[in-house]
Chain A
Amino acid sequence: MRHIISVLLENEAGALSRVAGLFSARGYNIESLTVAPTEDASLSRMTIVTTGSDEVIEQINKQLNKLIEVVKVVDLSDGDHIERELMLVKVRALGKDREEMKRMADIFRGRIIDVTDKDYTIELTGTGSKLDAFLSAIDRGAILETVRTGASGIGRGDRVLRV
C-alpha cells in the first residue's frame, strides 16, 4: 500500500543521506522524497512517499525513528491529510494548439508562468494523480519537459507535527 510519511529531522549536513541510505540499504521503495528547512531553521521536514506491506511500513517507521538525527516520524496515511505536489511543464504552444493549451491549463487551475512565441511553461499544483491527469489530457507530443517536486503532506485539522 502507498504511504506518505512525514519526518522532522535535525537540519544537519548528512541527515538526508542517512535517510536515503536507510531506504536503499534495506531495500525499501521511495516513490518520492522532498525536504526543506522549516520555520525553525534547526529543523528540516521531509515527506517520503513509499509503498510496502504493513510489516514493511512498520519497519520503515521504526528504522526512521532509530536514526539519531530524526526527531519525529508520522505516517500521514494513518489519518486525514492533504498532499500537494508542484509540477512545471514546458509545452509546445503553436498555432491552434496555443489556445487549446491555455484552456487546458485553466481547466486544471494551472498558471502559465513563462511564455515564448513557441512554448508555454505551466505551473500546476495538486495531488500526484491530478498532475498525471493533466499530462494525459494534453497532447503527449506537445510536452517538451516536465519537472515535479514529489508530494508534500500535512495532517488535516488539528493534526500537527512539531517538536
Chain B
Amino acid sequence: MIKPVSSPFDVRYTAQLARLNLTEEEIAKFQSQLSQVLDYVEKLRLVDVTGVEPTAHTNPVFNVFREDRERDWFDAKEALANAPRQANGLFIVTKVVE
C-alpha cells in the first residue's frame, strides 16, 4: 500500500488498515479529535530515551511453555454455538475467491 504524503495522520487511510469503515462525519471528527491526542503525546519526543530498553510488559518472564498434550476443550458444536453463520459443522465465510 502507498502511504499518502499529504498529511502525516490520515484517518481515512488508517481506517483501511484497521478494516473499519467510517462515515464522512466520523472521519472529520476523529481527524480533529485524534490530532489533538497526537499533539498531546508529542511531548514524549522531549524525553531522553538514549540507551533505554523498551518495556513490553512488566514481569520477568519470557518464554513460558507447557506440555503439548491433548486435553478436553470445545467440541465442534460448542465452537460453532456463537457463529453468525454456520452449516454442516463449518463456519460460513464471505466468498474470498471468484
The answer on A and B forming one complex is no
